[in-house]
Structure 1
């Protein structure tokens, strides 16, 4: 089923199959469900022709992978980036299916996007692209069938253009996209949700495994990659709680506080500068003109910092290599949780999981993105609920619901990891359950059971 030109999807499938091995050996009847769930229910691929500011036609490829609807309407973002291809979108949709299951909300899994690059484009060019993209996508989505959202390259501006194009084309106002503006159907806390949810999940990991690393302490040093929405709000939440943020990064390099963490970390004002810069399409390198910062071109932060307690990859897939994982362990890292999807390579995950299996106070505990970053899609689900009721919940209400969802997700992963990691109960030896196994097995069981109830396998 896996094509040789789909490396990202193959990686995601291999990770799941390894985690599921003990469960499938004990429950062989689920092997057929695993075979079936690998195949998307539908893949839509289309061309997008739009006009640039010089009046010339430009063309891009558009996609929507509708992976699994057993638990609800397809739900997942639209990525606009030159790297977008079917392998990446299949991996993202596959992961999204199980991530959405872990939220406890009624959402299936999907993903879409285009190889269009918003960087360097004018507002009018982006608007014309979005209108053309939605002209085809609108035929395949709906509030009860498929509800896309934002992702890399698709922020509030793009969601606005896409929603407007859908509304004009279909002549109806429905909650067919999430991530909308707060004054026209969006939810409070949605921009913050992935980053905030990541920290809420990590707080549970800290409480169980390393309580001395409380994020209320300035001595707790947190390395973050990325500088987009997820990284920004992850950093702001750490700073709000009292921890020290050591790094941010972009595709060109890493931004550190001069002294590499020895002179404190990023302030709220620093992160707000980054937010403003990224809104304008700028590079972090321009901030290095300030002597407080140090910019290291061509490198991610993981090998640059002498001391890291918590590492939070928040940029894109495969952004932590095996070598970088080893460097993090040498720097004293005890918790790694993904804000990005499949942020760690298989080699990096093996390094972290081997450390966990050794047990003891120096072991590393790793959380996969399908669990630790599910807060974003969870609040998207809450946005769908608000749209259906024509209500707007307060920031406090949404934040409280987000915290509860992340708590439940953590407990589900912990319980399933304790039962199905294939290692037995080693808690007496100080070995923590595998959150990787727990997330994969728990998410799979929920989707597979719904599919069986619907007659999708027997």
Structure 2
């Protein structure tokens, strides 16, 4: 954790180390949460030195502790009539800036550590958007893959029957994440209405366009990542056009990152799913990927059936062996480790933008920054999704519907502002050019100032 802390008083370092040690002691075995807190604290020493009031009011001690962690069982009946039981979670991490806001993840890897790391990151990500939303996250170890629509519906109805107690458009507003798309949001929203006996469209985001959803929400995280990447490249006099690009994943974030990158002239040659990756020297044919992943729910290996000139390789993380100038990790946490980072550097990468949440290990981040690779961290680069979710909430409150172009224009401006706030914060606190530190500091200061203003709560 000390690698990014420079020129600070020893007592400040000791204080920050004590915060981290307390987190580890209180949350044993929650390695993803430890990682997120460690990465954040690496940026905090000069901030605490400049603002001793943050230590006086125990801002760090409070901000690493969620306001509420809810865990519950989710019983449901499968198509064979057998009762299944999963775990459900919701962490309401910080409501200083507004109602808790963050997605629901349905994946077999979900546990308390995953949910807490995501909720912690979400607090600062949401602050960076400038929207009045706090940080939260939730989900279940239920895996929708291989389940029928009816099984998914029954699970979602059971899940919402417990979760609704803690929700509300001014309290906690979930959205989608891995494993939770338009189908799942629809089932969840239907059950919420059934229980609440009313229409409260702002209680969930990512809804269908016909019942309160926002145009541009599906594309927002992927598009936002590219808009942020554009700003980062432009700061160095560089463009995306003509750059060989690799994008991990093939879900919504990846697909729309590829789409916007290709619109801007990037040559995207590889993408992946959990089994492996495809390499197409002629450039990824996005309509084929959309058909396979969004319509057929197939595997990315099927791409070669349509484009025999492409190659499929086992092992999703091996995608980082592909030569590229731009790398976009858009799949899941810790998919890009230190070995992959060194391989990317050797292959000539100039910029990396995280479309997923914490997809790069802490060791890999250190290597990339030490080698002056332009690096856009997820809490800044993938904030586009929650930014447009907040715009969806605003439209629901006003009973209005904005055009795609209006939403997209607002998204682009938000991502530009996040870049500027992050780069300025980095410079102000001695981390010039370091967007990891800059985004941590910019997001933290917005929350910290509001926490002081609101007293010890």
TM-score (normalizing by structure 1): 0.92
Distance 1:42 1:210 in 2: 45
Q: Assess, with a 3 A threshold, how the Cα gap between structure 1 residues 271 and 287 changes in structure 2: closer, same or farther.
A: closer
Shift of 1:265: 1.0
Aligned length: 429
1:7-26 CA-to-partner distances (Å, cap 9, x unmatched) read 00000000011011221122
Q: How big is the shift at 1:222?
A: 1.0
| Structure with higher helix content | 2
Q: Does 1:51 align with 2:77?
A: yes
After superposition, the Cα gap between the structure-2 partners of 1:325 and 1:302, relative to the gap in structure 1 and judged at 3 Å, is farther
Structure 1 stretch displaced more, 396-405 or 1-10:
1-10
- Give 1:304 shift: 2.7
Of 244, 251, 255, the match for 2:267? 244
Corresponding residue to 2:251 among 228, 244, 247: 228
TM-score by length of 2: 0.92
Tell me if 1:254 matches 2:271. Answer: no
Q: Hey, what does 2:163 align to over in structure 1?
A: 137
Give secondary structure in 1 for the equivalent of 2:76: strand
Which of 337, 348, 352 does residue 336 from structure 1 map onto?
A: 352
* Structure 2 counterpart SS, 1:192: helix
Q: Which residue matches 1:407?
A: 416
Contact 1:225 1:231 in 2 (8 A): yes
Bigger drift between 294-303 and 434-443 goes to 294-303
From the superposition, tell whether residues 292 and 210 of structure 1 become closer, same or farther in structure 2 (CA, over 3 Å): farther
Give the equivalent residue in structure 1 for 2:31: 7
CA drift of 1:269 comes to 2.5
Whether the aligned pair in 1 keeps the contact of 2:423 and 2:434 (CA below 8 Å) is yes
Out of 149, 156, 168, the residue aligned to residue 175 of structure 2 is 149
- Find the residue that maps to 2:43 and give its secondary structure: helix
Distance (Å, rounded) in 1 between the aligned partners of 2:86 and 2:184: 16
Indicate whether 1:311 and 2:327 are aligned. Answer: yes
Question: Within the alignment, does 1:374 sit opposite 2:383 as a pair?
Answer: yes
- Structure 2 equivalent of residue 295 of structure 1: 312
2:96 matches 1:70:
yes
Counterpart of 1:429 in structure 2 is: none
Q: Is the 8 A contact 2:288 2:303 kept in 1?
A: no
Q: Determine the structure 2 residue equivalent to 1:21.
A: 45
Cα drift, residue 268 of structure 1: 3.4
Residue number among 147, 171, 175 corresponding to 1:121 in the alignment: 147
Query: Is 1:350 aligned to residue 366 of structure 2?
Result: yes
Bigger mean CA deviation after superposition, 20-29 or 46-55: 20-29
Post-superposition CA distance 1:259-281 (Å, at most 9, x none): xxxx33113333333443xx433
Mapping of 1:382-397 within 5 angstroms?
382-397=391-406
How far apart in 1 are the matches of 2:35 and 2:379? 14
Distance in 2 separating the partners of 1:318 and 1:265: 26
- Could you list the runs of 5+ residues in structure 2 that have no partner in the other structure? 1-22
Hey, what's the Cα distance between the residues in 1 that align with 2:320 and 2:237?
22
Q: How is 1:38-117 mapped onto 2 (pairs within 5 angstroms)?
A: 38-117=64-143
CA RMSD, 1 decimal: 1.2
The equivalent of 1:440 in structure 2 is 440
Query: Matches of 1:161 and 1:272 in 2, distance apart?
Result: 23
Aligned-pair distance for 1:240? 1.6
Tell me if structure 1 keeps the 8 A contact 2:271–2:319.
no
Alignment of 1:167-182 (within 5 A): 167-174=193-200, 175-182=202-209
> Offset at 1:210?
4.6
Q: Secondary structure at the match of 2:143?
A: coil
- Residue 381 of structure 1: CA displacement? 0.1
Determine helix, strand or coil for the equivalent of 2:86. Answer: strand
> 2:15 — aligned with what?
none
Deviation string 1:167-213 (CA, Å, 9 cap, x unpaired) is 011011111100000111000000000000000000001111251xx
Aligned counterpart in structure 1 of residue 300 of structure 2, from 284, 290, 299? 284
CA deviations over 1:214-259 (Å, ceiling 9, x no partner): 22x3x311110001010000001111222111111111111111xx
**1:254-273 matches, cutoff 5 A:** 254-257=277-280, 263-273=281-291
1:36: which partner in 2?
Answer: 62
Q: Report the alpha carbon displacement of residue 302 of structure 1 after superposing the two structures with TM.
A: 4.2
Distance in 2 (alpha carbons) for counterparts of 1:303 and 1:448: 37
How far the C-alpha of 1:301 sits from its partner, in A, is 4.5
Q: What stretches of structure 1 of length at least 5 have no aligned partner?
A: 258-262, 357-363, 424-431
Describe the superposition over 1:58-88 as per-residue Cα deviations: whole angstroms up to 9, x where unpaired: 1000010000000000000000000000000
Q: In the alignment, is the contact (CA less than 8 A) between 1:236 and 1:271 conserved in 2?
A: no
| In structure 2, C-alpha distance between the alignment counterparts of 1:272 and 1:115, rounded to whole Å | 26
